[in-house]
Amino acid sequence: MQTNQHTAEIYPPYRGAPPPLPYEPAFEDDTDYPESDGQPMAETELHRDLLIDSLLTLDARFQDVPDVCVSGNMFMYYAIGRAKQSVSPDVFVTFGIERKQRRIYRVWEEGKPPDFVLEFSSENTFKNDLGPKKKLYAERLGVREYFLYDAERKFLPTPLMGFRLVGTEYVPIRPAPDGKVFAETLGLFLGLRGDGFGFYDPGAARWLETPMDAAAEKAEEAATLADQLAAEAEQAKENVAQAALARQHAESLAREEAAARQHAESLAREEAAARQRAESLAREEAAARQRAEAERHRAESDAERKSVEAAQADARANQVEEELAELQAAYRQLQIELNRQKASDAD
């Protein structure tokens, strides 16, 4: 960071209250305090836009705080009865005073000076911002924090500068490593944002947006959401159509399954009938085998009996033949004896 005599030393931040000032009037004040000097609110459109954006952003930031004044480009009178002793901060914030519409800011009526002042320095103002005005805010008004921003980034020693009041003198506020400068009174960082400038909320870890930017962002989010919902609705329609097709397909499959189940049941009945027929045939076959086995046993028994009978018949035939042979032999012997007897009788 570049430095000069105004930023040569960095001191610890000041956490005390500003010095008291004698603001209570000792007489009735009938001074005419002008509300305008007829000059433009800002030197350039860039400075005007910065002023308006900063006011809108800070006003939105503290919209829920009941006792705060967020204003700017307003004549601020700090000496009772002296209309020429005034200053017009670009942006200022005062806590602890009534939230209301003001046309001018009289320090003695409000009871305190602003807590925070922001000036947008330009070629025509930066010397005053760094010199007499800085001294006025510190020594005469007691503004706790004073910030300067050089929108064109070529007049101040650094584009963004912050000071905190210590006693009646300002000391530079040490920037964070990323270059942001913390405003203790606001609880916000001020920092360079690309080619511009902004307020950063460390608690939410995000840059604050102007209400217009926030509204545009919400509108864009709403449009995105609408597109998303339309896409989801279209997808839902497609899903419904696909679900109808799937239901039709499922019903077709169910019918096919029912028909297949009926066919399977018919086949099962046919199979059961065939199994019963097969079992009946098996029983008949078993009975036939038993009958054939019995017949075989009877045939074998008859054959065995007939074989025995045949053997017995053969044995009987042999015996008869033997007996017949014996009879024939006896007969022949008898013939021989008869013949011998006849021969003997003949002699």
The full DSSP string for 240-300 is HHHHHHHHHHHHHHHHHHHHHHHHHHHHHHHHHHHHHHHHHHHHHHHHHHHHHHHHHHHHH
**18 domain residue, yes or no:** no
What is the per-residue pLDDT across 213-254, written as a single tens digit (0 to 9) for each? 777 777 788 788 888 988 898 898 888 889 888 889 889 888
- Secondary structure class of 192 (helix, strand, coil): strand
**76 domain residue, yes or no:** yes
Q: What CA–CA distance (Å, rounded) separates 14 from 144?
A: 8
- Secondary structure class of 116 (helix, strand, coil): strand
CATH number of 163's domain? 3.90.1570.10
87: domain range? Answer: 45-208
Q: What CA–CA distance (Å, rounded) separates 316 from 303?
A: 19
Q: What CA–CA distance (Å, rounded) separates 265 from 274?
A: 14
In one letter, which amino acid is 46? L
Enumerate residues 6+ apart whose C-beta is below 8 A from 95.
Answer: 65, 67, 68, 115, 185
Same domain, 198 and 99: yes
Of 208, 227, 245, the position where a domain reaches its end is 208
Q: Which of 105, 118, 117, 141 is nearest to 18 (CA)?
A: 141
Same domain, 71 and 202: yes
**270 domain residue, yes or no:** yes
Same domain, 180 and 91: yes
Provide the domain count of the chain: 2
- According to DSSP, residue 11 is labeled -
Q: What does pTM read for this prediction?
A: 0.60
Same domain, 62 and 193: yes
Element (H, E) at 56: helix 45-61
Enumerate residues 6+ apart whose C-beta is below 8 A from 293.
Answer: none
Q: Contact 131/163 with Cβ under 8 angstroms?
A: no
| Cross-strand bridge partners of residue 106 | 77
Same domain, 238 and 191: no
Same domain, 233 and 289: yes
Of 143, 178, 208, the position where a domain reaches its end is 208
pLDDT in tens, the chain (347 residues): 333 333 334 333 334 444 454 444 444 566 788 887 666 555 688 889 999 999 999 999 999 999 999 999 999 999 999 989 999 999 999 999 999 999 999 999 999 999 999 999 999 999 999 999 999 999 999 999 999 999 999 999 999 999 999 999 999 999 999 999 999 999 999 999 999 999 999 999 999 998 777 777 777 887 888 889 888 988 988 888 898 888 898 898 889 988 889 998 988 899 888 899 889 888 988 888 889 888 888 888 888 888 888 888 888 889 888 988 888 898 889 989 888 888 888 87
Enumerate residues 6+ apart whose C-beta is below 8 A from 103.
Answer: 35, 74
Same domain, 153 and 254: no
Instruction: List C-alpha distances in Å: 312 to 80, 186, 299, 315, 319.
Output: 172, 144, 19, 5, 10
Instruction: Report CA torsion sign: 178, 182, 188, 189.
Output: negative
Q: What CA–CA distance (Å, rounded) separates 315 from 164?
A: 156
Same domain, 178 and 239: no
**22 domain residue, yes or no:** no
What number of other Cβ atoms are within 10 A of residue 320's Cβ?
10
Same domain, 194 and 292: no
Instruction: List C-alpha distances in Å: 262 to 156, 266, 268.
Output: 94, 6, 9
Of 208, 226, 241, the position where a domain reaches its end is 208
**107 domain residue, yes or no:** yes
**233 domain residue, yes or no:** yes
Q: Tokens in use for 239?
A: 């899903």
Enumerate residues 6+ apart whose C-beta is below 8 A from 179.
Answer: 1, 160, 191, 192
Same domain, 191 and 53: yes
**31 domain residue, yes or no:** no
Same domain, 114 and 181: yes
Predicted pLDDT at 254: 85
Q: Tokens in use for 230?
A: 């339309």
**265 domain residue, yes or no:** yes
Predicted pLDDT at 43: 66
Predicted pLDDT at 30: 66
Same domain, 228 and 216: yes
